[in-house]
């Protein structure tokens, strides 16, 4: 069957949400999300783009992962191997491929890093000329039975594919790595205090060089710290003036002595609940888990799910990735998404 017969007559139109982010400057994403679904402000992708992509495929006669995308993926796997991810339930790796040819512009050597791959982030990637997105959370988590414009996740994939943007998702590989997200959380909690740390749940069969890999982390202070100082440390690290605390002693918790803190990015209660730590720091916990914790004398600190993760991406992953890529591709650029943010915030009523 010829390639021509495979070309779909595709017209993607009337996507069920706004593209108002396109009208803002690239530096204004962090202030607000696009407005709610608005069918009057939608993009249209014609068959021309699809046929253009297929023509490039035919001309290059190369359907393998292209050079720069492969370099990004190999660099991520070097520092955060997929073998240490929770592969029994997680979906990590290159989840959306792309096509690059010798005619690809130099600006294709651009990576956008994000915690969550929303439609607004996809638009930002297009504006910045990115050819690869490194999204911490997998945009494809469970099986897809269709790819249509009626679902925001699926339409985001369509938009990215039509612009030749690949997506790599490390998720729990980034969690479990010895120098990954939970290591950053542990450093944030400890501050300047001397401490030892290790994983809350060590990886069963880590590859050579990653023997310290594992889920979560436990910080043990050489000298006890106050709970107030621990909470202040984490609030500063995640950039929040207010955090949520479930305390066994609501009136005096700040003066409580803390010898150990368990940390786990995201929804980490199940990972750290049996560590015996005095304090648990995570993104979110359920109501009943918090009740159980305070009744057993454990102080729980939550900062919203993605706020417990995003700081690592900005402070450590972006400079690490850009430094390594530039050693091979001097023009490479790595940006932290400005459109990405946690959907929750604390407001005054």
Return the percentage of the chain with pLDDT > 70, whole number.
79
Give yes or no for residue 14 having a pLDDT over 50.
Answer: no
175 is in an annotated binding site: yes
137 is in an annotated binding site: yes
* Cα–Cα dist 75/94, whole Å: 12
Question: For all residues of the chain together, what is the average pLDDT?
Answer: 85
State the pLDDT at residue 66. 62
342 is in an annotated binding site: no
Task: Give one DSSP letter per residue of 24-78, joined into a string.
Answer: S-TT-GGG-PPPSP-TTS---B-HHHHHHHHHHHHHHT--SPPHHHHHHHHHHHH
Strands 166-169 and 279-282: unpaired
Domain 177-305, what fold? Answer: 3.40.1390
Listed in order, the ranges of the chain carrying CATH 3.40.1390.30 are 3-171+313-336, 177-305
Return the percentage of the chain with pLDDT > 90, whole number.
75
Rounded to two decimals, the pTM is: 0.82
- The CATH class given to the 3-171+313-336 domain equals alpha beta
* Cα–Cα dist 342/337, whole Å: 12
Instruction: Please answer whether residues 91 and 128 qualify as being in contact, where contact means their C-beta atoms are separated by less than 8 angstroms.
Output: no
* Cα–Cα dist 285/69, whole Å: 36
* Cα–Cα dist 215/264, whole Å: 7
Chain Cα centroid distance, residue 78: 18
pLDDT grade for 38, boundaries at 50, 70 and 90: very low
86 is in an annotated binding site: no
pLDDT digits (tens, 9 = 90+) for 43-97: 444 344 544 544 454 444 443 446 999 999 999 999 999 999 999 999 999 999 9
Dihedral (CA of 70, 75, 77, 78) sign = positive
Instruction: Please answer whether residues 332 and 134 qualify as being in contact, where contact means their C-beta atoms are separated by less than 8 angstroms.
Output: no
Least confident piece of the model among 56-70, 154-168, 263-277: 56-70
* Cα–Cα dist 35/33, whole Å: 6
């Amino acid at each position: 069957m010829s390639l021509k017969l495979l070309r779909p007559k595709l017209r993607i139109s009337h996507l069920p949400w706004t593209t108002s982010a396109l009208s803002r400057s690239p530096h204004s994403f962090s202030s607000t999300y696009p407005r709610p679904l608005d069918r009057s402000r939608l993009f249209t992708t014609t068959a021309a783009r699809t046929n253009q992509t297929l023509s490039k495929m035919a001309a290059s006669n190369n359907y393998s992962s292209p050079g720069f995308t492969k370099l990004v993926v190999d660099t991520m796997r070097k520092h955060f191997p997929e073998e240490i991810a929770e592969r029994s339930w997680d979906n990590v790796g290159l989840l959306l491929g792309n096509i690059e040819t010798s005619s690809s512009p130099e600006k294709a050597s651009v990576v956008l890093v994000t915690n969550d791959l929303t439609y607004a982030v996809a638009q930002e990637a297009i504006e910045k000329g990115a050819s690869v997105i490194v999204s911490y959370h997998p945009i494809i988590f469970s099986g897809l039975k269709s790819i249509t414009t009626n679902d925001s996740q699926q339409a985001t994939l369509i938009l990215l594919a039509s612009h030749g943007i690949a997506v790599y998702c490390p998720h729990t590989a980034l969690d479990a790595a010895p120098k990954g997200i939970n290591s950053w959380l542990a450093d944030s909690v400890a501050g300047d205090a001397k401490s030892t740390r290790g994983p809350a749940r060590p990886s069963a069969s880590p590859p050579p060089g990653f023997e310290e890999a594992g889920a979560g982390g436990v910080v043990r202070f050489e000298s006890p710290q106050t709970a107030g100082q621990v909470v202040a440390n984490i609030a500063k690290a995640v950039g929040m003036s207010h955090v949520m605390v479930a305390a066994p002693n609501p009136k005096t918790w700040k003066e409580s002595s803390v010898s150990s803190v368990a940390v786990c990015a995201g929804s980490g209660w199940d990972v750290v609940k049996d560590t015996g730590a005095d304090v648990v720091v995570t993104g979110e916990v359920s109501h009943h888990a918090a009740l159980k914790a305070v009744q057993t004398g454990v102080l729980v600190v939550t900062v919203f799910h993605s706020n417990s993760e995003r700081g690592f991406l900005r402070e450590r992953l972006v400079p690490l990735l850009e430094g390594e890529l530039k050693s091979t591709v001097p023009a490479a650029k790595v940006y932290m998404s400005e459109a990405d943010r946690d959907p929750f915030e604390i407001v005054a009523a």
